Amino acid sequence: MFKPLVSVLTVLSILPNIQAAAPTASTLFLSETETQFSVNIANDTDDVFIYFSSPAYSWVAVGFGERMQNSLMFVMYPSEDGKNVTISPRIADGHSEPSFTRNIQLETLPGTEIKDEAFILKARCRNCQVWGGGYLDKTSTTHPMIYAFGPGNRLQSNKPDAPLKRHIRYGKFTMNMVAATGKGEVPAPSSALSGVEIKGGMTRDHDRANLAHAVIGCLALFIFWPLNVLLAGFFKKMKLHIGMSVFIMIFLIVAYALGIYTSGEYNRSKKFNSPHQILAFITLLPILLISILPNPRISQLTPIIPRLHTPLTAFTFTFLVLTGGLGLHLSNSSRPIILIYTSISLAVFLFILLIQSCIWKRGSRYSRHRRSRHGEAEEDEQDLVLAAWYAGRKMEEQESRSTSAASLNRHDGNGNYGNNGYSGMGGNGSGQNIYGGGTMPGPQYLMNMHPGVPVHKW
């Protein structure tokens, strides 16, 4: 009598266990970060079901492929309000930031959220077994996979193509896709590896080129530039000033080269059309001018050129500082770093302004002292340069006229010069020891003799 009842109860007790059986899946679990990535491949459709959970870093990604190039990646980051998850399917064309692809249809399912400071993604992926440059091999028991974690600062966006900062940790593993194939459904949460083999440990990454680009540029602007102003203005060490200028140019060239190299790693800078890059290229013109204008052959072409050095230097410094600030914005730097950079920029700018003001006042006092001592107007430093330039030009003209006169007044061998009728002893041929031909100034004129007065030979 009780045997049928016992059998029914036994069957009923087994049914919940059958219903609670975990879906077919292969699972990656990283104990260091408590990150889980599970895959289920439907055996009756081309759908792939995903369960992805991780602490809320700026972004977390897992990709199908052996390396970044041509891998299909699923990148998670917080939504704009910080209450949900943005999932972005991306494909990379090299060792650079992957780009969002619209060819992958990813549908988020109920249960996707940010809970207890952790991402939780439940999704169905359609048309994601084949993509440009790669495919998911359902028959592989060791399908190559990669994972990566973004830096600690928060990224919040609803856009699937939001810019990413370089990862700080990454690694590789293989996944058994045969074991993951079964009835199509979202895998369950798990804290154990299943059908996965981790290849090596988690590798820590560094963006050394980008860091060097920023550090070298700041050293050139905030250390060597004001030091060079001191050398030129107060100590009058022109050789040291020239050497320091060359040193600064080398630093700037290296900073530009590193900036161009790192630009190719990010989607936001690959096309070189950001304000930071545009202003950096514009600033190359004044940098070139302050490098070549001091050349004597160029500086003596016109009196305006020597006066351009100081304003061009100030203009270049200002543009380089603005370029650096825009670079921090382009790299998504944190607010404290931007505030520190702004403070240092203002301090150095005021320091250079103070130095140049002192140099100008010092030159004015020196000029007034010279005027009171000699009773005549003295030029300041730039005017002296211009005066020297004019003097050089005048001497060249005098030498040209002297050469022309000498070619006309050739000696005929009899004491006569040319055909002007003057003899070697005077214009009248009388034998008087008079040079200069009456009222013409003679050679003794350069010894402060008055023009128009006959000069006798001693």
pTM, two decimal places: 0.68
Task: Point out the least confidently predicted range of 200-214, 293-307, 433-447.
Answer: 433-447
335 sits in which H/E element: helix 335-374
* Interstrand relation of 181-182 and 35-42 (parallel, antiparallel or unpaired): parallel
Q: Choose among 252, 254, 259: nearest CA to 327.
A: 259
Greater confidence (281 vs 8) lies with: 281
What is the pLDDT at residue 347?
92
Tokens of 120: 């939780």
Kindly provide the b/e burial profile for residues 12-48, where b requires at least 16 CB atoms within 10 angstroms of the residue's own CB: eeeeeeeeeeebbbbbbbbeeeebbbbbbbbeeeebb
pLDDT, tens digit, for every residue of 9-43?
A: 454 454 444 445 668 899 999 998 899 999 999 98
Distance CA 429, CA 422 (A): 7
pLDDT band for 353, please (50, 70, 90 cuts). Answer: confident
Residue 154 has pLDDT above 80, yes or no: no
The pLDDT of residue 359: 73
> How much is the average pLDDT of 375-399?
54
Q: Are 376 and 367 in contact (CB under 8 A)?
A: no
Segment holding 19, helix H or strand E = helix 2-19
Whether the pLDDT of residue 122 is over 50: the answer is: yes
Q: For residue 23, give both structure tokens.
A: 């879906």
The per-residue pLDDT for 18 is 42
Q: Residue 396 pLDDT > 60, yes or no?
A: yes
pLDDT at residue 251 tops 60: yes
Q: Which residue has the higher pLDDT, 378 or 214?
A: 214
Percent of the chain with pLDDT over 70: 73
pLDDT digits (tens, 9 = 90+) for 175-211: 999 999 998 899 999 988 999 999 988 899 888 899 9
Q: For 203-230, what is the mean pLDDT?
A: 91
State the CATH architecture for 27-205. Answer: Sandwich (2.60)
Q: Convert the pLDDT of each residue in 313-337 to its tens digit.
A: 888 999 999 999 999 988 888 888 9
- Tokens at residue 345, please? 């920029």
Rounded to a whole number of angstroms, the distance between the first and last alpha carbons of the chain is 162
The pLDDT value recorded for residue 207 is 84
Instruction: Report the C-alpha gap between 329 and 326 in whole angstroms.
Output: 5
pLDDT classification of 409: cutoffs 50, 70, 90? low
* Confidence check: pLDDT of 423 > 80: no
Domain ranges of the chain: 27-205, 209-371
